[in-house]
Each structure stands twice: as C-alpha cells, then as structure tokens.
Amino acid sequence: MRKTTTIIMLLLSVFLLQSCQGETPNIVISKVFDATSMSNNVIEVYNPTIEPVDLNKVELRIYNNGSTTEGGDHAIQLEGILEPDSYYVVSGNNPTNINIQNKTDYQYNNNLPYNGNDVIELFYNDQKVDQFGLLGFDINFAVDLTMIRLGEKEDYIASTEYNQFNFIAYVPDLFENLKNDNHDIKTLEQLYQGPQLEQRYLDLPYVDPNNNELGYGGAAEVKLNGVADGDTAFFTSMNGYPGGSLRYFYLNTPEVNGSNVSAEPWGYVASKYNKEYLLGDSNSKTIHIQSIPGNSLQEGYGRNLGLVWINGALSQFWIVAEGLSEDVGSQYQAYDYLLTYKNVPYLTFLRFAQHRAEENSWATKGFPNDPEGEKSPDWNYDTRRNTTENPVWTPHLKLPWE
C-alpha cells in the first residue's frame, strides 16, 4: 500500500511539474517606439511575474500594412532567459541612439520592420500571449510616438485582444525610458486629472518672432470679456494675445442659436458649462491663452485659435471629459509633440477623457447612439427642437480648483 501511494504521489508530482511548465506566462509588450529615425525603432518586452521565462520559446510576429499573413510578415525568435521584473529590448542592427545601443538584448538583422501602423504579436510556445495593434487594419495609430503600457508595471496583464487605451501615447524618442518605469504618467487616475500648464510655456512668446501669423506655443495671461458658447469666448488684448474672440482649438461643441446656425442637442449645456463652471467668476481665476506652435493664429472666420487654461487646468480637457464636444480625433500632428505635459501630448489626455465619456454615455456620447445613455436637457428628441436656453444640468466631474 505504501509503495502504491508513493508511486501515485510521484506521478502526481510529475504531472503538476509538466502542467506548470506548460502554462503560458504573463509576459507583455511593455513599450513600442516608432522613432523619428526608423533605425531607432524598438520593442520592449517585460516580465511582471515571479518566475523566469525561457525566451527561446518566445517569438515576436510583425504584420505590415494591414497584413493577416499566417505567422506574420516578420518573425523574431528571442533568446535567453527573462528574469522576473526584467525587461528585454529588441532593436534594429544599427541604432544611432546611445540608450538603445547600451540596452539592446537582441538586434534584428535590419531596421526593425515596424512604422507605427503595423501590428506586433507576442507568442509563447506558438500560443499568442499579447497583441499591440489591430490585426487586419492599416491605421496610423502609433506613428512617431513612444507607446508605454498603461498602469504600474507589476500590474501589467497580457491580452490577446488589442485595446488602444491599454497604452499611453508619449512624445517620440523617449529612449531614456528603456528598461525602467521612470515615466511620470502611468495610470488612468493621472490621465483623468488632465494636463497642467508647465512653466516653460509661460516663458515662450505667444507669436512666432519670425512670422507674426503663426503661434509659438507661448501662454499669455488674459482677462475674460465674454462667452459666446461652448467653444468660443472673448478675451482682452494682453501679453501678446491680440484680443477678441477665440475659438477653442481641438474642439467643436454643439451649436446654440445664432445668425447662421440653429441650436443642436447639448449646445446650451456646453455653453452653460463654459460660462458658469469654467469661466464663471473669472476675476478670481488666472486665465491663460496658449497659441499653437507653427499653426495659424486665426481660423477662416477671423477668430483667434488657442488653448484656454484656467488656474493651470486645460478647459478643452474638461469640456471633452464631460462629453460636450465632437470627437477630438487620434492623428497626432507636429504641434501635438510640442504641446505636452510631462512628455504626454495634450491630445493623449483628450483622447482618454473622451473615452471615459463614451464608456459612461455622457452628453453627446449618450443618446441616441446609446439608447440608455444620457439625454440632453435642452432638447426635445421627438420634435427635434431646442426647448430652453437655460437647461438644468450639473457636471459629472469636479473641477481641479473646486
């Protein structure tokens, strides 16, 4: 009997050992760099578990330009052992950046074949573990960006289905962040606080010194003269700002009744939010207008274009966060890399704010797209008419200065 029990225990131990060895480890694609020079493109893999991973069983597969080719257009077989709480960096064969040169673990035989619209999959023992990018689609979702996985590194969870909001889009070429988690913005809580106005923008001129029709990215302190609607207000001529009406850059809030436009659902709510909550009691607030670097100071109707900061918080962010604007888009322009907070473009903050409004079906992200979503209190959906210019409505989110 004792011999039989011993044999059973031995077989069970072997079975459990084999089972553990066959488990797919929770290793993840932690960072992806689409660099300004293709020679510096990098993929970083991280092991958040407490067990080492045999990288000889790990493969990266890259799919170019919407390809769904079985096995990928390029397969990169990794090598060695990835210890717990450790990174593994894959680069091209001729990186010019010293951080990449010093931290690369595996060099591909050419430039890394990835350019910001390609899909990367991570496989272990021929089983997909993690995915970056949407397979079968040729979308410029990460061009000229440093993409860093959302969250604290010890909480990273691999996913075989790509979610664009599992990664934070940083400015390009942040190679100093290879093999560490020293980046400042990591969590949803930080993103939901919105960007803050950095001192460096207060030190820049509002107008480009070499072209008086272009912005230079400087933030000018101003005084409020009046509010037109959810995305237009009037400010005094001060500190480089020419004065007059300002159209809020990045935004297009619903219309209120005007000489050439008719009211739309949420139009008077957006106007109320801007007048009463953001710019209300303006004499007690510090307001800055920031120009858009390299972009025209005015739009086609002669209104100024810029960003509105109240007590260091970005108005555009809070308007988007309440769901009171059309979609802000996902394509980053040259000025987006220059308009940042802690190396994260303002547009990244706006996109996460919009996503939260969509998840909660707030304002324009609610009814009728979501039958159970929020309905506008200034609109009759049966007659398709505006019902009031003073809707009863309160914000979902507390403003930073409250």
Count of other CB atoms within 10 angstroms of residue 56: 11
- DSSP code of residue 258: -
Q: Which two tokens stand for residue 253?
A: 């809030």
Query: Which among 310, 399, 307 is positioned nearest to 346, based on CA atoms?
Result: 307
Predicted pLDDT of residue 342: 98
Predicted pLDDT of residue 23: 80
- How does pLDDT run across 271-324, given as a tens digit for each residue? 999 999 999 999 999 999 999 999 999 998 889 999 999 999 999 999 999 999
Q: Are 207 and 296 in contact (CB under 8 A)?
A: no
Count of other CB atoms within 10 angstroms of residue 359: 10
Rounded-to-integer distance, Cα 79 and Cα 167, Å? 26
Handedness of CA 110, 116, 122, 127 (dihedral sign): negative
Q: Are 392 and 378 in contact (CB under 8 A)?
A: no
Rounded-to-integer distance, Cα 125 and Cα 56, Å? 9
Residue type, 94: N
- How does pLDDT run across 157-192, given as a tens digit for each residue? 999 999 999 999 999 999 999 999 999 999 999 999
Which of 83-87, 133-137, 170-174 has the lowest average pLDDT? 133-137
- Map out the domains of the chain with their CATH numbers: 25-183 (2.60.40.1260), 199-386 (2.40.50.90)
Which residue blocks in 212-293 are alpha helix, DSSP H? 267-272
**Residue 15 pLDDT greater than 50, yes or no:** no
Rounded-to-integer distance, Cα 246 and Cα 249, Å? 9
* Segment 339-351 mean pLDDT: 98
